[in-house]
Chain A
């Protein structure tokens, strides 16, 4: 069977319209299995719309070949306020016990398992959201600016932590952000969404595992400048 249709994502020539006006037009995108790709773009350029189309939440024209199970980490987490950490992570799982403990330990929230989201910090809530998504065992994870609302310090910690988990789980991730630095630091490939389609892609060749220090690397800064110039 064609590998692309088994576990990768293949978006072909899709158009999405809101009130008759195209938000995305003739957009193509392919993700390889286990790849970490990031999409950058200015606010309102259609990044979230693209994820919504891939997830099947909104109608679109064109074709999207995707695996049956897609996980999503939303901009505002969408962690259920009425469930404690344990029940959030095991939401929808049939045999939850084993997976629950595995992911509780992975996101380092074993001691908070009975706490409600309102008792957690922003970073902890984000960890619950990712653990919940991972526990459902999706083939692809779509992440919609998950760290946009966090302070810089927590954001750095969450990025490092996401990379560690990705190294272990090797899920295919499509990460949307407006931070060019975040995109370069996390991804294998950075895709620039502008004028309703992917205009350019940059392959990121920094060795993994990556440390935060690469953000001060000359080539990192150079790349950041190039992408910023393209976006502006």
Chain B
């Protein structure tokens, strides 16, 4: 294989080196084996969870929560961002309130959400949606308020339709910013799903880590952690690919 093709796989090298070092450190008792189980043991735990079907169930539950919460938060965030970005009176009346809420660390609302909604699905979707709302809102707001005036002027000479103005000009013109906001939203949604499942749940990756902790199964905890990291990265990757395919012009604006 030519050298420049091999370069594509360079990122694997540090990962391999890390795994090898980890294995060596663990089996040589350089570190406490029960606190740092070797990669082989973590892999066995992964296979065990996979075989029992338990892992698939947890992944399915968490991913569903992330997607549903993200969609709810993003939908409200985009609508609010476009309105505050384009309509001065709405901006003046709502933005300061949103900025106050935005400064809360989103995980801090979880005890309150449990008091309000219990530990069911509503509580989790609310927590994730609430946390995802703010980055989507602020980015949509910036995108909508920074639309070059000539697009709006051009549209105003071509149509008087309010629908066309909002959905064919303001929304697409803000899309690159909305996408940036949703990518931050994805990262936050993964944090929130983990924390809200940790706080009270009967399934999900957060729950898996939580019960593994109680059972002192550190290998399983590490599996949960790696799964969460993997899906966080893959979700962002898939989202970016979908945006590129569906809206190829966003990178050219």
CB A92 to nearest CB in B, in angstroms, measures 3
The answer on a CB contact under 8 Å between B153 and A55 is yes
A82-118, CB < 8 A from B: 82-83, 91-92, 116-118
Contact of B172 among A82, A117, A133 (CB under 8 A): A82
Contact of A78 among B150, B161, B175, B248 (CB under 8 A): B150
The answer on a CB contact under 8 Å between A80 and B151 is yes
**Chain B residues bordering chain A, tally (CB within 8 A):** 22
The answer on a CB contact under 8 Å between B168 and A83 is yes
| CB-based nearest B residue for A57 | B153
CB of B15 closer than 8 Å to a CB of A:
no
| CB-based nearest B residue for A142 | B157
CB B8 to nearest CB in A, in angstroms, measures 27
CB B177 to nearest CB in A, in angstroms, measures 13
A75 CA to B153 CA, complexed, in Å: 12
CB of B249 closer than 8 Å to a CB of A:
yes
CB of B169 closer than 8 Å to a CB of A:
yes
CB of A124 closer than 8 Å to a CB of B:
no
Write out the residue numbers on chain B whose beta carbons fall within 8 Å of the beta carbon of A57: 153
Q: Which of A31-39, A66-74, A191-199 contacts B (4 or more CB under 8 A)?
A: A66-74
The answer on a CB contact under 8 Å between B150 and A92 is no
The answer on a CB contact under 8 Å between A116 and B249 is yes
CB of A136 closer than 8 Å to a CB of B:
yes
Interchain pairs with CB closer than 8 A, number: 58
A175 CA to B248 CA, complexed, in Å: 34
The answer on a CB contact under 8 Å between A118 and B252 is yes
User: For chain A, which range describes its interface: under 10, 10 to 19, 20 to 34, or 35 or more residues?
Assistant: 20 to 34
The answer on a CB contact under 8 Å between A78 and B249 is no
CB of A127 closer than 8 Å to a CB of B:
no
A9 CA to B151 CA, complexed, in Å: 24
The answer on a CB contact under 8 Å between B247 and A92 is no
| CB-based nearest B residue for A52 | B153
CB of B173 closer than 8 Å to a CB of A:
yes
CB of A148 closer than 8 Å to a CB of B:
no
The answer on a CB contact under 8 Å between A92 and B249 is no
Write out the residue numbers on chain B whose beta carbons fall within 8 Å of the beta carbon of A133: 157
CB of B253 closer than 8 Å to a CB of A:
yes
Write out the residue numbers on chain B whose beta carbons fall within 8 Å of the beta carbon of A138: 157
The answer on a CB contact under 8 Å between B150 and A91 is no
CB A69 to nearest CB in B, in angstroms, measures 8
A137 CA to B33 CA, complexed, in Å: 79
The answer on a CB contact under 8 Å between B153 and A117 is no
The answer on a CB contact under 8 Å between A72 and B157 is yes
The answer on a CB contact under 8 Å between B252 and A91 is no
CB of A62 closer than 8 Å to a CB of B:
no
Contact with A along B140-178 (1 / 0, CB 8 A): 000000001011011101110100100011001101000
CB B221 to nearest CB in A, in angstroms, measures 45
A78 CA to B147 CA, complexed, in Å: 11
A76 CA to B157 CA, complexed, in Å: 16
B170-214, CB < 8 A from A: 172-173, 175
Write out the residue numbers on chain B whose beta carbons fall within 8 Å of the beta carbon of A75: 150
The answer on a CB contact under 8 Å between B154 and A74 is yes
A51 CA to B149 CA, complexed, in Å: 15
CB of A189 closer than 8 Å to a CB of B:
no
A92 CA to B151 CA, complexed, in Å: 13
Write out the residue numbers on chain A whose beta carbons fall within 8 Å of the beta carbon of B151: 78, 80
CB B34 to nearest CB in A, in angstroms, measures 56
CB B22 to nearest CB in A, in angstroms, measures 46
CB of A132 closer than 8 Å to a CB of B:
yes
The answer on a CB contact under 8 Å between B249 and A91 is no
Contact of B249 among A70, A71, A118, A132 (CB under 8 A): A118
A133 CA to B156 CA, complexed, in Å: 12
A77 CA to B129 CA, complexed, in Å: 39
The answer on a CB contact under 8 Å between A92 and B158 is yes
Known interface pairs A91-B164, A92-B161; A72-B154 also in contact (CB < 8 Å): yes
Q: Which 4 A-B pairs have the closest CB atoms?
A: A92-B159, A92-B158, A82-B172, A118-B252
A-B contact pairs, 16 of them (CB 8 A): A55-B157, A72-B153, A72-B154, A76-B150, A78-B148, A78-B150, A78-B154, A80-B169, A80-B172, A82-B175, A82-B249, A82-B253, A83-B168, A91-B155, A91-B164, A133-B157
A residues adjacent to B (C-beta < 8 A): 55, 57, 70-72, 74-76, 78, 80-83, 91-92, 116-118, 132-133, 136, 138
